[in-house]
Amino acid sequence: MARQLILATTLLLAALIAACGAERLPSSAPLASSTPTTSAQLPAATLVSARSAERELLAIAPPAQITPTPANQKVRVWWPDELYPPEGDPARDVLEDQFKSFAQTYTTVELEVRRKRTTGLGGILPTLRTASPVAPGALPDLTLMRRADMITAANEGLIVPLDDWVPEDVAGNNLLPGVRSLGEINGVLYGVPYTLNVPHSAYRPAAFSAPPASFADVLNAGTRYLFPAGATPVSCTALLQYRAAGGRLVDENSAATLDREPLLEVLTYYAEGTAAGIFNSALVGYTRYDDYWNQFVTGDSNLVGVDTVTFLRRRSSVPSALPVSIPTPDGTPITALDGWMWVVTTHNPEHRQRANVVLAWMMRIGGQSLFTEAFGVLPSQTRALRLWDDRGYADFAQDLLTTAVLVPESQRNSSAALALQEAIIAVLEGAVPDETAESVLARFG
């Protein structure tokens, strides 16, 4: 048995070294000395743990493309509070271990990580605005931003394009399909996607004969469906359903518009559901997924709208819950992209190089996989997601991400989106679908 374990370890490490490509293992990593034979087989326990072993090895392996920087150079990183695990959370140890490992690996580089608010006084974007003209030396080399803030920062010249210097293996082939677009503005890369969060639904299998993927599935099941209908500027659930029905928010001339048939299909669904007690006007008071999770826990509802963060961090309170796409007219899955991206603020080439050192470190496959699974967010890279121990959710998310749409902020805040939201709320409060549709469509005649 001992010989089998040594042999298995040798085979596993050999496979990992071959698979890592440009990533190198630490020179101190122990290797067994046994010579593999063609008849040898990996023990079942080794096969089960292979994914975790690969992730652990990749988490400690520095990226090969990093070039050491001169001595006594500082790299300043701003990290949003929203993405920093609280005290006592295992994910915090995972993250801070990555910072410590960086310092141990690159002894000539001083990594300074500052936690910053996401919005408001002292927030990342507001501070960039105020500090850029008066105290550029206080700015970070690298920071994390959501897409909406990234677009604003790019338009105001607060961040720099990344196309010319970010390695392809960091912002190219390793990213999940379609995810690179999250960091692009008009085809130019301004942010490297790091963590992702996507909306979907969660349901109790015992309450449904099949996963509730379509409008008909929801209506036939008759169970209450809770989602943030009052979210502003428009409910993500309703917007995605309208998009899935073929609806547009802008026409071929980029003018705001709504399409009659898709709009009427979605409004009719909500009207029928309201008449059946599946929906009611109380949904208008929900703006966050957390607002009604307890009703899912107690069984008052068997189907709720969620996102990755809500589902992964709260599902232990409903152990039987499974993820499913947001219901659409014909059951075709759809979701929306959101997440945090690495952006660079410095125009100094040497500072950019140092930022690249940290960026490549934080984008290592193993490290990203460990942190995202521990914290309950999705990684942006395919291999990082494949290394998750939670194969059920990882496989669901990887499939769902292929259906993701990126709705421009300008469209989400347009008069068409506001009219769509107004129509959904009106129907939930008892208005007739046809009349409601005609009323809002008249604005875009």
Tell me the mean pLDDT in the region 356-377.
95
DSSP E strand stretches across 247-302? none
3-state secondary structure of 135: coil
The pLDDT of residue 3 is above 60: no
The pLDDT of residue 27 is above 90: no
Contacts for 291 with CB less than 8 Å, ≥ 6 apart: 228, 285
Instruction: Tell me 214's DSSP state.
Output: B
Contacts for 49 with CB less than 8 Å, ≥ 6 apart: none
Instruction: Tell me 211's DSSP state.
Output: -
Long-range contacts of 279-284 (CB under 8 A, 24+ apart): 279/224, 279/225, 279/229, 279/428, 280/428, 281/428, 281/429, 281/430, 283/226, 283/227, 283/228, 283/229, 283/230, 283/428, 284/229, 284/230, 284/425, 284/428, 284/429
To which H or E segment does residue 169 belong? helix 168-171
Phi, psi for residue 45 in degrees, rounded to 5? -65, -35
pLDDT at 350: 85
Q: What is the pLDDT of residues 394-406, one digit of tens each?
A: 999 999 999 999 9
Assign 53 a pLDDT band (cuts: 50, 70, 90): low
Tell me the mean pLDDT in the region 219-238.
96
The pLDDT of residue 219 is above 70: yes
pLDDT at 40: 37
The domains located in the chain, with CATH, are 73-197+338-401 (3.40.190.10), 199-336+414-444 (3.40.190.10)
Q: What is the pLDDT of residues 130-176, one digit of tens each?
A: 988 888 788 899 999 999 999 999 999 999 999 877 767 676 678 99
pLDDT at 136: 79
Tokens representing 309 are 């963060």
Distance CA 293, CA 301 (A): 9
Of 392, 371, 386, nearest to 50 by C-alpha is 386
Contacts for 59 with CB less than 8 Å, ≥ 6 apart: 98, 364, 366, 367, 369, 370
Q: What is the pLDDT of residues 76-104, one digit of tens each?
A: 999 999 999 999 999 999 999 999 999 99
Distance CA 312, CA 197 (A): 11
Share of the chain above pLDDT 90, in %: 73
The pLDDT of residue 354 is above 90: no
Contacts for 187 with CB less than 8 Å, ≥ 6 apart: none
Work out the mean pLDDT of the chain and round it to a whole number.
Answer: 86
DSSP E strand stretches across 264-408? 303-307, 322-324, 335-336, 339-344, 378-379, 404-405
Of 200, 222, 220, 203, nearest to 211 by C-alpha is 203
Whether residue 344 contacts residue 162, with contact meaning beta carbons closer than 8 Å, is answered with yes
3-state secondary structure of 74: strand
3-state secondary structure of 176: coil
Distance CA 193, CA 179 (A): 7
Contacts for 12 with CB less than 8 Å, ≥ 6 apart: 42, 46, 50, 53, 54
The pLDDT of residue 111 is above 70: yes
Tell me the mean pLDDT in the region 100-122.
92
pLDDT at 206: 95
> Which residues does residue 192 pair with via DSSP β-bridges, in sequence order?
342
Q: What is the pLDDT of residues 254-308, one digit of tens each?
A: 999 999 999 999 999 999 999 999 999 999 999 999 999 999 999 999 999 999 9
DSSP percent split of the chain into helix, strand, coil, nearest 5? 50, 15, 35
Q: How far lies 260's CA from each of 99, 166, 229, 257, in Å?
A: 53, 44, 21, 10
Provide the whole-model pTM. Answer: 0.84
Assign 72 a pLDDT band (cuts: 50, 70, 90): low
∠ CA 136-138-144 to the nearest 5 degrees? 100
The pLDDT of residue 26 is above 50: no
Give the residue, 389 or 19, on which the prediction is more confident. 389
The pLDDT of residue 331 is above 70: yes
The pLDDT of residue 21 is above 50: no
| Neighbour count for residue 167 (Cβ, 10 Å) | 17
CB burial string 399-433: b at 16+ within 10 A, e below: ebbebbeebeeebbebebbbbbbebbbbbbeebeb
